[in-house]
Structure 1
């Protein structure tokens, strides 16, 4: 801020100079100069006339008349010294108040309309960026208040405006977006950080987390792809398993969720305080699986992939239940996000498609599973699919996707 005030002083000084110059250097008094020139011209003309009149004998004492003419000329000369003193005094009386007024107006108007407090706050926040960033980067420390989050966002955006290649800054801004549930900011910031440093583990994890929380299925699938790539690394962050387990649980892919939670338990060991929490999560997933499997009016469908199947970058898994005669119109159907295979789903009356006819009305049935790559149910060219044998209602069904339309 010291530089700011120095610059304001320079600007105010320049303004004062422009005010003072016209007062210190007034325009020449043209009337006095014209009168002086006129008197000199009149004096010279009168001298010429006196010479002519003397030659004609009309003037007896030429020298006396010349002396009187000179005295008249001297009497008409203005007192410049007195006028200069008066003008200097007048200038001083006007100049000093004018300069004071310029300074007062400049700083007074800035105090009223210049938002000095906001500028000062902005500068203070920019100075406290390292401290606020440290708090945000340490989730186990003191949580940031809403006011601190706003201040940190302002400071980060200021820094990123001047340093757009700062991947850590974009990562922090993305985390703030996640904390505020501002997914547009979170995904946008994480994407920029990932573009700058695509090999950084924290950035990849943050980007995947932001995409995972998006309502767009394409973003969610991109997150799964990124996380699955991270699983193949020599070292896998515990949070990668956590995100994949959470996603699988939300998609009702309970076996995959259990698998990831068990992997986390192996990494942390039974002495870790989180081990018991993971055990409860595994028990919860198993509890959601068991009732449906035991329900005689539902079908448990385990879905796996054949070795030749190549998954599309995006798409959905469509599971449909048909009557035993293989009728094309499904009795029940459901769609699931394209994720990790194998996984298990439960089909029951809540998935029924035909009014007046429920899944529980069937005694025998066929289950078909298709990977739909374009979201159009009517389009099947190139889609992979699989079909079960005829099974009884309440049975466990295994379907392998290994055929292509």
Structure 2
């Protein structure tokens, strides 16, 4: 800004000098002076030539000079002084400065300089959990200051992440998306950067953005199966795209992971209920009645874990599973979508399958020597009719 003002001042001085220049020469020669000069020059020529009839020519020259004299001499005007141009210079400066102030957004530039000076203090307040929260205006100022800093330090992934979060607070989707994308590309292995970028993509109105966001979320879940934030974002995206079963599955897994006293459970349960209403589906249930063969009853350990799983009859990977401590038999229980193993593969999506029961002495899902197992045939599920499974096979 200082350099710009200096350049403007130099240019104004140069223009003022050009304004004075035409008046810097000698004053103009009047007509009488020119006639006298011409008369004396001609006399000198006549004296040098020594031609006959010189006297007559001198008289004639004098008569011509007298004839050229006007009857009334014009009044001499005093030429203007240079100070008379001073108002023009002042007017030029005023117009130039006014045009600069009007078109240069000087107030915005001064405000920007003030914001850049406040940025360190605002960042400190954001990082301090005990500090007073920033107002929306202060958030906007911090965003402007961060953009200025990132121009000088474009490789600062943490700075881009902070700018993206400010964009979300200010409901500026374009700023948030661009900032989070930059942070993710600078630090592709940073889990927070990937989740931040995935969040703005899943909230976008563009279908391609949604697909890319879900791809990033599945990459996170492939590394961390119990990441609550990734599950929540995936459930939100599925719900928005009317994939209600997948959304319910993700929320059900979250319910299993969250502590019983977590405040988010109530919100998740309301979301599940809303998804069921929107989809028009009932919570599918499979009732199972477990009995023991005489041999299994005699060999039953005092302590153990009962594992009950449901497969679709095609893949050995369970669709749903449930475990409970060993108790009295016959034992009746139910499985539903809350027992699903994956959010995009719910029990309500399966119409037939096989029920498997495993009584483990060591409490591990994989059968070991001394454990007892049993399974049903491939049957059609009917919530009103329990599926009977007899545990009769010892594990060698």
| TM-score between the two structures when normalised by the length of structure 2 | 0.54
1:229 aligns with 2:219: yes
> Which residue in 2 is equivalent to 1:196?
186
* Cα separation, partners in 2 of 1:288 and 1:188, compared to 1, 3 Å: same
**Contact 2:146–2:163, Cα closer than 8 Å, also in 1:** yes
Which of 229, 236, 256 in structure 2 is aligned with 1:242? 229
Aligned to 2:165: 175
How far, CA to CA, are the matches of 1:95 and 1:222 in structure 2? 70
* Residues 1:277 and 2:263 aligned together: yes
Alignment correspondent of 2:45? 45
Cα 1:264–1:297 change in 2 (3 A) is: closer
Q: For 1:128, which of 118, 128, 148 is the aligned residue?
A: 118
2:346 matched to 1:344? yes
Matched residue SS, 1:214: coil
Q: Distance in 2 between matches of 1:41 and 1:112?
A: 61
What is the CA distance between 1:207 and its match in structure 2?
A: 0.8
Task: Give the aligned partner of residue 13 of structure 1.
Answer: 13
Deviates more, 1:94-103 or 1:248-257: 248-257
CA displacement 1:286-341 (0-9 Å, x = unmatched)? 9959x99xxx9763488889479xxxxxxxxxxxxxxxxxxxxxxxxxxxxxx945
Aligned match for 1:186, one of 176, 198, 206: 176
Distance 1:132 1:48, change over 3 A: same
Give the Cα separation in 1 of the matches to 2:383 and 2:256.
31
Residue 317 of structure 1 aligns with which residue?
none
- In the alignment, the residues of structure 2 paired with residue 247 and residue 53 of structure 1 have an alpha-carbon distance, to the nearest angstrom, of 122
- Whole-Å separation in 1 of the counterparts to 2:147 and 2:282: 57
Contact 1:300 1:396 in 2 (8 A): no
Task: Assess, with a 3 A threshold, how the Cα gap between structure 1 residues 183 and 117 changes in structure 2: closer, same or farther.
Answer: closer
Shift of 1:203: 1.9
User: How many residues end up aligned between the 2 structures?
Assistant: 293
- Summarize the alignment of residues 107-146 of structure 1 with structure 2, pairs less than 5 Å apart: 107-136=97-126, 141-146=131-136
Matches within 5 A, 1:263-342: 263=257, 265=259, 276-278=262-264, 280=266, 284=269, 299-300=284-285, 306=315, 340-341=342-343
Pick the aligned partner of 2:251 from 257, 264, 270: 257
- Residue 389 of structure 1 deviates from its aligned partner by 4.0
CA contact (8 A) 2:248 2:343 kept: no
Distance 1:286-1:35 versus aligned 2 partners, 3 A rule: closer
Instruction: State the secondary structure of the residue aligned to 1:144.
Output: coil
Unaligned runs of 5+ in 2: 70-75, 287-309, 318-340, 354-377, 388-396
- SS of aligned partner of 1:128: helix
The answer to whether 1:212 aligns with 2:202 is yes
Give TM-score scaled by structure 1 length.
0.53
Distance in structure 2 (CA, Å) of the matches to 1:124 and 1:245: 40
**Cα shift at 1:52:** 3.6
Per-residue deviation, 1:95: 2.8
In 2: Cα distance, 1:147 partner to 1:278 partner: 30
Query: Aligned residue for 2:138?
Result: 148
Q: Secondary structure at the match of 2:83?
A: helix
- The CA deviation at 1:281 is 5.8
Aligned to 1:392, what secondary structure does the other structure show? coil
Q: Aligned in 2, Cα 1:192/1:107: closer, same or farther, shift over 3 Å?
A: same
User: Per-residue deviation at 1:38?
Assistant: 2.1
Partner Cα separation in structure 1 for residue 170 and residue 85 of structure 2:
57
RMSD: 5.1
Deviation at 1:259, TM superposition (A): 3.9
